[in-house]
Amino acid sequence: MAIPAFNHFLDLAELSSDQFWGLLRLAKRLKDERREKGANEPILAGKSLALLFQKPSLRTRVSFEMGMQHLGGYAFYLSPAEVGLGSRESAADVARVLSGYVDGIMARVFAHQDVTDLAAWGSVPVINGLSDFSHPCQALTDIFTAWEVLGDLEDRTIAYVGDGANNVATSLMMAAGKVGLNVRIVSPAGYMPTAAVVEASGAEVSVTDDLDGVQGVDILYTDVWTSMGQEAEREERLAVLSPYQINQSVLERTGNARALVMHCLPAHRGEEITDDVADGSASILFPQAHNRLHAQKAILAHLLGGVPLI
Ligand code: CP
Ligand code: NVA
């Protein structure tokens, strides 16, 4: 039976496991196609994507621009100062204006409500390129990377160490729930996910403040302790989260000589992760970053190109 299509990519809670797997398989097809033939079919010829940013970016901006180009389409960057989403103009008005010009909107915002408003008021697909609540493009990429490296993900376990309440941790749990990957959140009190997020993820999630939670896991994952927009809390966060650094000793504490290390990047090296681990043999940080391109091409092919999920 065909997998139902979806119209926006705002949050993984809105996607079924079948739709998520459909995206993973499409990402693999597009990645393989480019590797084998040197290029993708121009399935987005004549299509355009606006990249709307309220926050800085390297990976998200460049991977979406290049992803559109690989598929024959066109993308352009709109800076925070230019658009003034929510200050110069409301998300509702921005969405209605852009919908007359482009075939899709990718937005990186502070308030998650802004991406939902863009989708509600516009008439073109909207992709969440990170909000304070979630980072679904990252999590799709992370699972795609884990699937590539580990193969079957059923009964594998990933430990997310650090700020377990942030956008990356939230989306990682949601994504894990789609593929049967078990999650351990290892975070201090005050930085643990809410019961509502754990419940919504549908994943097998355990939450602890004890670093022994990393024992036996297949993957260690971390992200910055101070996310964009939380800069005023930096000192307080450093003090509470510093015992949760991923270093050689935490890697050894997994007891798994084949354990892998992931990080969505950018990293604050020397804070949440040490150089020796980030650059060591367990690290898959850069293949993970590169996969943003392939995972997002699947989202674009489906939303803007109508490529069915199979
Ligand atoms: N991981 C990620 O989203 O990176 P950027 O902030 O550089 O886009
Ligand atoms: N949690 C980080 C992720 C950056 C890609 C942030 O929101 O700043």
Q: What is the CA radius of gyration of the chain?
A: 19
Cβ atoms 169, 160 nearer than 8 A: yes
Q: What is the pLDDT of residue 253?
A: 98
From the candidates 8, 11, 19, 138, give the one annotated as an active-site residue: 138
Q: What is the pLDDT of residues 107-125, one digit of tens each?
A: 999 999 999 999 999 999 9
Atom 7 in ligand 2: which residue has the minimum CA distance?
227
Shared domain check, 261 and 144? yes
Query: Could you tell me if residue 232 is inside a domain?
Result: yes
The whole-chain average pLDDT of the chain stands at 98
Say how many Å lie between the first and final Cα of the chain, rounded.
9
Ligand nearest to the CA of 268: 2
Structure confidence at residue 124 (pLDDT): 98
For residue 137, the tally of other CB atoms under 10 A from its CB is 26
Residue 308 has pLDDT above 90, yes or no: yes
Confirm whether 60 is domain-assigned.
yes
pLDDT digits (tens, 9 = 90+) for 30-57: 999 999 999 999 999 999 999 999 999 9
User: DSSP letter at 309?
Assistant: P
For residue range 252-272, list pLDDT tens digits in order: 999 999 999 999 999 999 999
Instruction: Give the C-alpha separation, 221 to 74, whole Å.
Output: 33
Which residues surround ligand 2 with Cβ inside 6 Å?
A: 130, 166-168, 223-224, 227-228, 264
Ligand 2 centroid to Cα of residue 155, in Å, is 28
Residue-wise DSSP of 235-286: HHHHHHHGGG-B-HHHHHHT--TT-EEEE-S---BTTTB-HHHHTSTTB-HH
265 lines ligand 1 (CB under 6 A): yes
Does the beta carbon of 60 sit less than 6 angstroms from any atom of ligand 1?
Answer: yes
Catalytic residue among 108, 263, 294, 302: 108
pLDDT band at 1 (very low <50, low <70, confident <90, very high): confident
E strands along the chain, which residues? 48-53, 74-78, 104-108, 126-128, 157-161, 182-186, 205-208, 219-222, 260-263
Ligand nearest to the CA of 109: 2
Residue pLDDT, tens place only, 199-250: 999 999 999 999 999 999 999 999 999 999 999 999 999 999 999 999 999 9
For position 129, what pLDDT does the model report?
98
**Is residue 105 located within the same domain as residue 172?**
no
Residues 187 and 225 in one domain: yes
Specify whether 253 is located in the same domain as 154: yes
> Is 52 in a helix, a strand, or coil?
strand
Q: How remote is the CA of residue 295 from the centroid of ligand 2, in Å?
A: 18
| Same-domain status, 125 and 213 | no
Domain membership of residue 2 (yes or no) is no
* Active-site annotation holds for 264: yes
Specify if 4 maps to a domain: no
Domain count, the chain: 2
Same domain membership, residue 298 and residue 223 = no
Residue span of the structural domain in which 257 resides: 138-289
Domain of 274, CATH number, reads 3.40.50.1370
Ligand 2 centroid, distance to 259 Cα (angstroms):
24
Is 151 a domain residue?
yes
Ligand 2 atom closest to residue 60's alpha carbon, by position in its atom list: 5
Q: Considering the domain boundaries, does residue 235 fall inside one? A: yes
> What distance in Å separates the CA atoms of residue 99 and residue 96, rounded to the nearest whole number?
5
CB of 76 within 8 A of CB of 100?
no
Residue 3 belongs to some domain of the structure: no
pLDDT the model gives residue 196: 97
Helix (H) or strand (E) holding 118: helix 112-121
Percent of the chain with pLDDT over 70: 100
Q: Which of 253, 264, 288, 294 is catalytic?
A: 264
Asked whether residue 308 is domain-assigned, the answer is no
pLDDT over 80 at 94, yes or no: yes
The single-letter DSSP state of residue 106 is: E
Asked whether residue 193 falls in the same domain as residue 266, the answer is: yes
| pLDDT on residue 2 | 85
Q: Which residue matches tokens 């940013």?
A: 53
pLDDT digits (tens, 9 = 90+) for 171-180: 999 999 999 9
On whether both 126 and 146 belong to a single domain, the answer is no
The more confident residue out of 279 and 1 is 279
pLDDT the model gives residue 37: 98
Shared domain for 160 and 262, answered yes or no, is: yes
Query: Measured at the alpha carbon of residue 192, what is the angle toward residues 191 and 195, in degrees to the nearest 5?
Result: 140
Q: Global pTM?
A: 0.98
Residues 280 and 161 in one domain: yes
